Amino acid sequence: MEIIFGRNKKEHLEPVRARVTGKIPAWLQGTLLRNGPGMHTVGETRYNHWFDGLALLHSFTIRDGEVYYRSKYLRSDTYTANIEANRIVVSEFGTMAYPDPCKNIFSKAFSYLSHTIPDFTDNCLINIMRCGEDFYATTETNYIRKINPQTLETLEKVDYRKYVAVNLATSHPHYDAAGNVLNVGTSIVDKGKTKYVIFKIPATVPGGRKEGRSPLKDAEVFCSIAARSLLSPSYYHSFGVTENYVVFLEQPFKLDILKMATAYIRGVSWASCLAFHGEDKTHIHIIDRRTRKPVLTKYHTDPMVVFHHVNAYEEDGCLLFDVIAYEDGSLYQLFYLANLNKDFKENSRLTSVPTLKRFVLPLHVDKNAEVGSNLINLSSTTARALKEKDGQVYCQPELLYEGLELPRINYAHNGKPYRYVFAAGVQWSPIPTKIIKYDILTKSSLKWGEEHCWPAEPLFVPTPGAKDEDDGIILSAIVSTDPQKSPFLLVLDARTFTELARASVDVEMHLDIHGLFIPDAGWDLGKQAPSREAPARAAAGQAAPRT
């Protein structure tokens, strides 16, 4: 396990040609670009948590049946400062770092004070976001880093705070058909208020985007929701959208702002400022995208922790949304490297199984409905919504499937009725051992798995001109715990889940987190969410415009 989690991975700046077995469909041309932590020690110092590792971008360029692999560390300010100092000098999720070893009492006091309002890391290791023609590496702080998706070079550092007042923002934005980005962030104690801010970044602007102008300059606040508590806003990792609504969960997994403000002085990490409050409810906020206002009905459900929303849509006056839910916040605990590297089987046992749950909310609550009555009358689900005496609605989900994470869908169905969830299958540990296709209609599943293989998040790419939701392929980077077996890019037929091809690369590959597929130009872009209008000029072979 040490090899997979603990050992620093090398960069491969020049494309490495993979050994392809099987046949990659001729139409599949483009680049799978992914992100994840690749370096966990700097000099003599070591990060505590897997999410702390320095971002390593990697890509698989698929052209005419061949695959080329590259990887490069994100040259974040964090990376540069650490490498220059030859030790960890920037704090991450699970590691608090002390930049200047304080020499005397005065500089010590100054150093502490200057950290009261922390400047977060730009080690953007979680995902890749597309804004029009631009691509960014993302994490959950106020920083994102523009990258060149072809060369994996790091470009400018963008501070969300210059454009919208957020201190944190998710790594899971949504895209509409035109490529406009919708995201949620938290504005902490700004002018005496803590808010969840939904913001929009337009893919294009009237008259066209001027060369070098950041799309962020045209970002706007779509709606904001006051946090229930000024000093303990909820932590969230994603959100949901339907055609007319945004779904935001204010869950009882909270950040303690006072603890954060004193973390540096106390020598503890940001992670220690997060806590699950099993005594609280989960509040479900629904925002009407037409009025940009929250709907008035108050919906809630039992305490739970959700990292990934799967999809959401409207049907017969109801809003359905699917999430991977946990009973508590223990998941992030399992990713401490001390747990992952030694006694792996013992230390990384899931105490709460990630479960696909469907929630159904009535969009209009009948005033005359009796207290205690179920307001949902959809034959397709057993999910219920019970009217309470104060007019609030208590939502009871339908349990769909246990043991899956890192969900993806055919994004052309995002916000719309859909049938298939593609995900990583997890059993006793949070490390995936299978790839799963779950059919919500028939409640059946297909699986892919191989001995010693750990699959990454499976990504769906539709066949050009596809009509069926599962007409396409699944791409997943697979790393192996068997040192004799090279990592590979797996290509599955998304309909049957049979292997079409694999492209093995003789490198030590890191376990990544999230990413996206950038089709080469000239595709049927109408089928290629997120962007239907902007041609994928940044795909391999045609470099993104550099600024």
Closest CB to ligand RET among residues 306, 492: 306
In DSSP notation, 452-518 reads: TEEE---EEEEPTT--STT-EEEEEEEEESSTTS--EEEEEETTT--EEEEEE--S-PPP--EEEEE
Closest CB to ligand RET among residues 198, 491: 198
CA 514 to chain centre: 6
Interface region with ligand RET, contact rule CB under 6 A, candidates 8-16, 108-116, 138-146, 321-329: 138-146
Answer yes or no whether residue 270 interacts with ligand RET by CB under 6 A: yes
* Minimal distance, residue 419 CB to ligand RET, in Å: 24
Interface region with ligand RET, contact rule CB under 6 A, candidates 99-107, 136-144, 318-326, 359-367: 136-144
* Minimal distance, residue 86 CB to ligand RET, in Å: 22
* Minimal distance, residue 404 CB to ligand RET, in Å: 13
Handedness of CA 492, 453, 8, 16 (dihedral sign): negative
CA distance between the termini of the chain: 41
Q: How many residues form the binding site for ligand RET (CB under 6 A)?
A: 14
* Minimal distance, residue 231 CB to ligand RET, in Å: 15
- Say if CB 75 and CB 123 are below 8 A apart: no
Q: Which residues, at least 6 apart from 535, have a Cβ–Cβ distance to it below 8 Å?
A: 521, 525
Closest CB to ligand RET among residues 71, 78: 78
* Selection from 339, 380, 385, 379 nearest residue 360 by Cα: 385
Judged by CB under 6 A, which of 18, 42, 67, 168 binds ligand RET? Answer: 168
Q: Which residues, at least 6 apart from 222, have a Cβ–Cβ distance to it below 8 Å?
A: 182, 198, 199, 200, 246, 287, 289, 292
**Dist. CA 209–CA 443, nearest whole Å:** 46
* Minimal distance, residue 513 CB to ligand RET, in Å: 5
Answer yes or no whether residue 126 interacts with ligand RET by CB under 6 A: yes
Residue 12, phi then psi, degrees to nearest 5: -125, 90
Judged by CB under 6 A, which of 59, 76, 121, 183 binds ligand RET? Answer: 121
| One-letter identity of residue 156 | E
Closest CB to ligand RET among residues 51, 239: 51
Give the residues across from 472 on adjacent strands.
462
The answer to the question of whether 277 is labelled as a binding residue is no
Answer yes or no whether residue 120 interacts with ligand RET by CB under 6 A: yes
Closest CB to ligand RET among residues 93, 160: 93
* Selection from 310, 165, 300, 162 nearest residue 224 by Cα: 165
| Extended beta strands in 75-212, E state | 127-131, 134-138, 143-147, 154-159, 168-169, 174-175, 181-190, 193-201
**In the 8-state DSSP scheme, what is residue 2?**
I
Residue 334, phi then psi, degrees to nearest 5: -70, -15
Closest CB to ligand RET among residues 270, 523: 270
* Minimal distance, residue 390 CB to ligand RET, in Å: 33
| One-letter identity of residue 375 | L
- Say if CB 340 and CB 5 are below 8 A apart: yes
Q: Pairing relation of β-strands 398-402 and 355-362? A: antiparallel
Interface region with ligand RET, contact rule CB under 6 A, candidates 134-142, 294-302, 430-438, 466-474: 134-142
355 to 384, contacts with ligand RET by CB under 6 A?
Answer: none
* Minimal distance, residue 139 CB to ligand RET, in Å: 5
CA-CA distances (angstroms) from residue 259 to 229, 254, 370? 14, 11, 44
Site string for ligand RET, 79-108 (x = CB under 6 A): -------------xx---------------
Judged by CB under 6 A, which of 10, 46, 108, 237 binds ligand RET? Answer: 237
Answer yes or no whether residue 139 interacts with ligand RET by CB under 6 A: yes
Judged by CB under 6 A, which of 78, 141, 142, 480 binds ligand RET? Answer: 141
CA-CA distances (angstroms) from residue 66 to 62, 356, 419, 486, 505? 6, 36, 32, 17, 12
498 to 517, contacts with ligand RET by CB under 6 A?
Answer: 513
The answer to the question of whether 514 is labelled as a binding residue is yes
Computed on alpha carbons and rounded to an integer, the radius of gyration of the chain in Å comes to 23
DSSP H helical segments within 114-256, as ranges?
none
Interface region with ligand RET, contact rule CB under 6 A, candidates 72-80, 119-127, 150-158, 521-529: 119-127
Answer yes or no whether residue 307 interacts with ligand RET by CB under 6 A: yes
Handedness of CA 325, 327, 332, 336 (dihedral sign): negative
17 to 76, contacts with ligand RET by CB under 6 A?
Answer: 51
Judged by CB under 6 A, which of 134, 140, 457, 508 binds ligand RET? Answer: 140
Task: Using CB under 6 A, list all residues that contact ligand RET.
Answer: 51, 92-93, 120-121, 126, 139-141, 168, 237, 270, 307, 513
In the annotated binding site for Fe cation, the residues are 172, 237, 308, 514
In the annotated binding site, the residues are 172, 237, 308, 514
